[in-house]
Every structure is written in C-alpha cells, then in structure tokens.
A = this chain, B = another copy of it.
C-alpha cells in the first residue's frame, strides 16, 4: 500500500461475475482474513483492518477473526458505520483507495464513489495486492463443462435467444452483456464444474440482434462446441471478452450488480451503457420456470424427498445418536442423495447443526467434532443439484426431550411456514407484502428472526437465485412459475435454532373480476416432526393443511420406497 501510495485497500468477496460460490482462485478475502463466510468485505488502512459482514455470520466471524487484528463490524447494527462511511475517516482529501476492480461490481463502485464524492478520491482499481502476497494461490479452474440435458426436454438456446432479444427490443439496446454465470449457463444450456455447489463455468455472453457470442475457455466446451454453433452461438476464449466489447457500438445492456467495474470502465467511451435493475431481463426470464422446467423440477424433488425420508428413518432408528457426529449427518445425506438418478452434487454445504450450533443460521459443521445427544433439536438444511432441478430443504428434528418453550416456538415457526404455504394472494403482490405472514405468530410473543423468509432457486443452477424473494427487500411481483423457499425460523443464541423450509412454486388459483389470484404449492414432501408441535396452538385450517401435506407426502413418496420404508413413512405422516 505504501509503495503504491494507497491510503486504504478493499478486499471484497467474490469473483468477476458476483457469483455466490466462487472458484478457489477468487477466495482472496477468506485467505487474507481467515473468515470463510460467503459474504464479507475487508478494509485495510495503515493503522487498522476491519471486516464487514451480516447477521448470518456474526458468531462465525467473531470466532474466525479472534486472534487476528481484524476488527468485526456488524452490518445493520445500531452505531456501526457502513464500510463506505467508515472509509471517509482514514481517507484524506484527494486520497487514494485501491482494490481489485474485477471483484467490485459496477453498481457497488457507483455507490462507493457517491458516498466518497466530497473527498475527491482517486481509485486504483487494478490493484490485486492479495494476489501479490498469496504464494500458493490456486489456478483458475479448467474442468470441462457439459450440456444440460434434463430428461424432459426444455427450451433450446435458439428459443431462449428469441426471448432475450424480445427483452432487448423493449430496452431499446443493440447488445446485451450477460455476466452472471448462471444466466450464461441457462441461456447456453450448459453446466460446469468450476466451483463447488453451483454447476456453472466461468463465461460471458454478448447477444446482439443477430449474433450470440460465448466467451469461455475452449477446452471446457470442445466436446459439444458444434452443438452450440448449431444454435447460432459463436465461441471465443474467456479472456477475449473485454477485447470484443471494446469494438461494440450503440447501446449495451448490462446488469450492474453482476458486471465488474473493471470491465465496464474498459468499455469504449462511445458505447452507451444501460443499466438494468432491479429486474434484470434475463434474470426474470430464468426465474419464471417453463412447464418443462417445472415438470423436471417436480421429478427432482420427489428424488430429494425420498432421500430425506430415508435419512429421517435412519436417524430415528439409530440405536444411539450419541455415536453420531454432525459430520456423519452431512455424509449420510450426501450418500443417500448419491443413490438417486441424475444427482450431480450437493447444492450447498449441508448445515447439520446440533443444539446451540443451530442458533447460527449459516452454521457449517467442521471446526470441531460435535456429537449428537438424545435431547433437543438437530437442524438440517441441505440440498442437491440434480440434472433436473436444484433442491434446498430444512427440517428441525427432535432427538429427545425438549422444553415447553422449544415446543411452543417450533409451533410458532410452523404457523409462519403454513401461513405462507396456504395464502392465496392477488396478482401484483410482491414478496415484501407476504413476509409478515411468516412472522405474526412469532411477533405475537415478542419473537422474530433476522433473515428473510424466502429466496428464489435455480433449475440445476444457483441455490439462491433472483430476482424474487419473500423479505423486506423483495419488490418483485410474484408470478406463476417462480420458485421460492419458505423458511421462517427462530434462534436462541447459545441454546437452539428452529427452521422449517420447503421450496414452493407460485401457481395460479383462480381468476375473478377482481383479477388473478395466486398461491403456492410445495415441491418437497418430507414429514414435519409432529412430536415437536403443540397442536393446541394450531387452528383448524392449519391442522387441515398439515394433514393434507402429510397425506400427499405419503402418496407421492411411498411408491419409491421399500415396504419397510413406506411403513415408517406411513407412521410419520399420520393425521393429527
């Protein structure tokens, strides 16, 4: 920093495509700070270093930063400045701020520049200082990509290009840069193995009215390059993207949250850049699943349901849970999923959190061996990537005695889960308008959970996918074909955590003179632990929902089970 005259240096999370999971090459912030959470940003000044992260990671960050001189800044906590405001202090007038511009998206950069406007800062945005000192930095991945071939055929790339070009016409642009890796994968019907959990490959796409250009390491697609070309796609090397764009003219559409500021700053000055937020055109096309995508996804969820039912039976029948560790649970879940056709990999690192560990919403077993005990709750949050769908489910499982308070709170969380599951809502309703339904039962008791109720999910793609959601930030209208998680929760620091999650599909219920009305259908069918429920707190409609859900669970899953397993499921899905 001194050699370069930098007053402060930023080390953000992420890669050049704002991916949720990244190839090891991009883990600069984790390598530097020791904090391994998915979201966080380090600021280094000449006298201090700080890490900013959100509520999901406060406990984990405290643990992982302890012993370092990096100070934890808890985001969205009263009295804690945002990093952009914090920077105003160490940065002198006309100061110099450095970072690796590949991992700062253009929207973030604009907000940073706006926040520091009064300081007239110089931005040294090609400074990868961590790269200079990271001796054994992993290389960029080279694993082959593969064609996405779910059993029920979905839209071809050429059909998707037609839809994308219709959006481009609405936006009145001559070219569209697609930087988000899952957007590229969706459009090109390819998947990859460049990182854990999300089956995607590093690539860019640039679409014009008559051309489609894919920028990807040619070794990754050599086996099926001809098929891509037959869909009207021209192939280029990944590194050729910036050079190609340097020759573009007219108006270019980008998603500023997914495109690196380094790339945008290198665009020719004559090119007009149109930023497409909050509802990026291709994101919305991808979010509204087609009939074929939904059919595939339902199949994937039956497979996942089978794996989860087998897991619950295995756990319940374990002679001694005290001999099982959290990591055994993780391995068991993966091994049951591996028995299923079309399974690729886990869609995220399974959370198997026993007792107090579950109070960390994003706990990952591993730092120390934790054995289960025949008491309290085990929380599992787990999912798989199948060729025909991406799954994500949470169950809170009672391993033995629980207190009345735990039972009440399990029931309050379940009431929230059911309220979302069974609500019928008017068209044009957005996620922020439904989020409170998941909370009112908890609020009534002075309780709450500090994360959103639901996120979108991909089709053999990201386990988190935009733009829809159910949270205070979700301003996108929910429409049939969208998938969402429904995961209200409750956590007591140092004691226990409860979360119940299904993935649900937006479906049309009816159309009246007051408009169209939508509702949700669950995709995942796996018993909810009724021994943790205080049925007296449920109303008739809630009990009816649970009985119906459990009946459907048996009807849909039992045909795929052995007689022994089906008998277990019959018991686990009994009506109350």
Residues of A that sit less than 8 Å from B by CB: 423-426, 429-430, 432-437, 439-440, 443-444, 446-448, 472, 509-512, 514-515, 517, 539
Contact = CB atoms under 8 A, between A and B. Distances in A.
7 contacts: A423-B440, A426-B448, A430-B472, A433-B435, A436-B437, A446-B511, A539-B539
Given A440-B423, A443-B425, A510-B446, A472 B433 contact: yes
Contacts of A424: 440, 443-444, 446
B443 A436 contact: no
B432 A517 contact: no
A514 B446 contact: yes
Contacts of A539: 539
Contacts of A514: 446-448
Contacts of A512: 446-447
Contacts of A472: 430, 433
A374 to B, nearest CB: 29
Contacts of A439: 425-426
Contact of A517 (B425, B426, B443, B511): B443
B440 A437 contact: yes
A385 B429 CA distance: 36
A385 to B, nearest CB: 33
Given A433-B436, A434-B436, 7 more contacts: A424-B440, A425-B443, A432-B433, A436-B436, A446-B512, A446-B517, A539-B539
Nearest to A422: B444
A433 B446 CA distance: 17
A433 B424 CA distance: 16
A426 B440 contact: no
Nearest to A76: B428
Nearest to A540: B539
A425 B433 contact: no
B446 A436 contact: no
A512 B447 CA distance: 8
A443 B447 CA distance: 27
Contacts of A448: 426, 514-515
A443 B423 contact: yes
B426 A443 contact: yes
A512 to B, nearest CB: 4
Nearest to A427: B448
Contacts of A515: 448
Nearest to A510: B446
Nearest to A516: B446
Nearest to A426: B448
Nearest to A444: B424
Contact of A432 (B426, B432, B446, B509): B432
A537 to B, nearest CB: 12
Contacts of A437: 436-437, 440
Contacts of A426: 439, 443, 448
A436 B436 CA distance: 8
B436 A429 contact: yes
Nearest to A492: B513
A172 to B, nearest CB: 10
Given A446-B514, A447-B512, A472-B430, A436 B440 contact: no
A539 B423 CA distance: 17
A496 B308 CA distance: 52
A418 to B, nearest CB: 13
A517 B440 CA distance: 11
A102 to B, nearest CB: 33
Contacts of A517: 443, 446
Nearest to A432: B432
Nearest to A428: B472
A472 B478 CA distance: 14
A226 B443 CA distance: 51
A429 B514 CA distance: 28
Contacts of A423: 436, 440, 443
Nearest to A446: B512
A258 to B, nearest CB: 25
A515 B447 CA distance: 8
A453 to B, nearest CB: 11
A436 B425 contact: yes
A30 to B, nearest CB: 31
Pick the 5 closest A-B CB pairs, nearest first. A446-B512, A448-B514, A433-B436, A426-B448, A424-B443
A365 to B, nearest CB: 26
A514 B359 CA distance: 14
Contacts of A433: 432-433, 435-436, 472
Which of A443, A511, A517 has the most C-beta atoms of chain B within 10 angstroms of its own C-beta?
A443
Contacts of A430: 472
A448 B435 CA distance: 19
A368 to B, nearest CB: 27
A511 B447 CA distance: 10
A477 to B, nearest CB: 10
Contacts of A429: 436
A53 to B, nearest CB: 20
